[in-house]
Amino acid sequence: MTYSPPAVWENTVSGGKFANINSPTAGARHDKDLPVGEHPLQLYSLATPNGVKVTVLLEELLEAGHDCEYDAWLIDISEGDQFSTGFVDVNPNSKIPALFDRTKGANVRVFESAAIMLHLAERHRAFLGESRPEMLSWLFWQMGSAPFLGGGFGHFYAYAPEKLQYPIDRYAMEAKRQLDVLDQHLEDNEWMAGNYSIADMAIWAWYGQLCLGRLYEAAEFLAVHEYEHVMEWAKRIDARPAVRRGRMVNRTFGDDESLKLPERHSAKDFDR
């Protein structure tokens, strides 16, 4: 059936997964304070790709000897936790991840995953790549490109109430183009910006996990094996102990119970 848009759009029930939390308006929907732990860094997140970016970085920083202990609190987006008054105070956009940084008595909020990663990497002068302009370029490439992979391809391929060929084809083409961009770059480069950096972590959380079969069950559909340089890069990152820990934090879904750590308050939590 062909859709003819009305003169003025009106909100209707969209259906599909997460339809119950979608709304054309912003702001808090219920009163609830956020929990606060003992560490200077208070992270409020979920182990989606955007959340994994930050927990991987925090675990990498800790493994490298930096002082950045953190509490990671679960935000269950399916239950609408991101619309509490407490969460909206730290991120008015109601998206995970969000961070309160109380280092040295400050009370700084940081939201958007790339902003959090830059904030932490710059503070510790770590994982900034050999070329800062190159690292920033790839970091923001990820921020601009991944919505086509997630909100575009992922939504219509995995979550929409019905399968429609046009949007799936449209976004599959773009997802494969993006993978080809990465593959051509990684053919001549071990890492995205000279050495392992936050650009690698951010891109891996989306595209690396896609190639490893962890997003949308779409690896075969997108023929990810064609991107051999991306696959090699994704496996190198996946083998890092800090990356495995970062994947676990704020994770409540999946069949592997050993990868689930809904909250993280110290390194000892991984022992459980």
Which carries the bigger pLDDT value, residue 19 or residue 95?
95
Shared domain check, 121 and 152: no
pTM of the full structure? 0.95
Q: How far apart are CA 215 and CA 48, in angstroms?
A: 10
Based on the fold, state whether residues 200 and 187 are members of the same structural domain: yes
ω into residue 97 within 30 of 0, thus cis? yes
Confidence of residue 22 (pLDDT cuts 50, 70, 90): confident
Task: Clarify whether residues 232 and 138 are in a common domain.
Answer: yes
- Examine the pLDDT at 14 and tell me if it is beyond 90: no
What are the Cα distances from residue 109, in Å, to 29, 92, 170, 192, 201?
20, 11, 37, 28, 22
Q: Are residues 100 and 195 in the same domain?
A: no
Q: What is the mean pLDDT of the chain?
A: 95
Residues 84 and 48 in one domain: yes
The pLDDT assigned to 67 comes to 95
Query: What's the total number of domains in the chain?
Result: 2
Looking at the structure, tell me whether residues 113 and 136 fall in a common domain.
no
d(CA 207, CA 168): 17
Question: Does 3 reside within a domain?
Answer: no
The pLDDT value given to residue 107: 87
Q: Are residues 217 and 267 in the same domain?
A: no
CATH number of the domain residue 89 falls in:
3.40.30.10
Residue 105 has pLDDT above 90, yes or no: no
Please indicate, yes or no, whether residues 103 and 155 belong to a single structural domain of this protein: no
Q: What residue numbers bound the domain in which 152 lies?
A: 132-239
| CB 44 within 8 Å of CB 95 | no
Element spanning 41, H or E: strand 41-45
Q: What is the pLDDT of residues 114-126, one digit of tens each?
A: 999 999 999 999 9
pLDDT tens digits, one per residue of 53-94: 999 999 999 999 999 999 999 999 999 999 999 999 999 999
CA 45/CA 205 separation, integer angstroms: 14
We report the CATH number of the domain holding residue 189 as 1.20.1050.10
Q: Greatest CA separation found in the chain?
A: 60
Asked if residue 168 belongs to a domain, the reply is yes
Domain presence at residue 141: yes
Query: Do 55 and 77 fall into the same domain?
Result: yes
Residue 2 lies in a domain: no
Q: What is the pLDDT of residues 211-229, one digit of tens each?
A: 999 999 999 999 999 999 9
- Composition of the chain by helix, strand, coil, percent to 5: 50, 10, 40
Q: Is residue 83 part of a domain?
A: yes
pLDDT of residue 64: 98
